[in-house]
Amino acid sequence: MASTKKHKVVCIEVLKKNGVDVDKLIEALVYNASVEFVAYYYFTNLRAFCTGIEGEGVKGVIEDARLEDLSHFESCIDRIYQLGGEFPKDITEFCKLAGADFLQSTKRTTLNQILEKCLKAEQGAIVNWNNVCKMTQGKDPMTYEIASSILAEEIEHESWFLELLDGRPSGHMRRRYSGERPHTAKHSRSLGNL
């Protein structure tokens, strides 16, 4: 039952006093949520094109990144609404916002091209979440914690794909289980307690 009286929102007032441009923050969070959602979708598709003996190992790495991207999307939903934001009503508008058409794949896409696409997506996510960290550090501890947790996983994802593409050691050990999300599990209920 919604009241006609609009109450002040103390959490937003506090953030504004702390120097946060709440509208810009909401815009960044909605944009990042769209990128994570679309990456989850495209990584689901890219996985299917990882064929052959080499493709089997790559599928596992993409699966870990894919499920963690879903967790990243879920991690920022509550915060967007707490700040007074919302998602576009039209899913196509939301997906277009991400600008991730480069992740599309065909049967002719090679394993190396798939890895390049995944790397580009993870590197973009690092830049995006680092920007949110810079906007909120020392001003908005709640959003900063979410963004820095996501950023930690995105940096790990980048290192996985660099390892596969360049032979650059990443220290990567497979997650104990797909969807483990060691940094964002506390922010996302999407995958339950696998």
Task: Give the pLDDT confidence of 23-63 residue by residue, as tens digits.
Answer: 999 999 999 999 999 999 999 999 999 999 999 989 999 99
Block residue for tokens 């990243």: 72
Amino acid, res. 51: T
Q: Which candidate, 191, 194, 189, 193, places its Cα nearest to that of 78?
A: 189
Q: Is 21 helix (H, G, I), strand (E, B) or coil?
A: coil
State pTM to two decimals.
Answer: 0.88
Residue type, 57: G
Three-state DSSP class for residue 8: coil
Question: Per residue in 117-161, pLDDT tens?
Answer: 999 999 999 999 999 999 999 999 999 999 999 999 999 999 999
Q: 12, 98 in Cβ contact below 8 A? A: no
Burial (CB < 10 A; 0-12, 13-18, 19+), residue 89, is exposed
Token pair of 190, please? 């999407």
The CB density around residue 159, as the number of other CB atoms within 10 Å, is 17
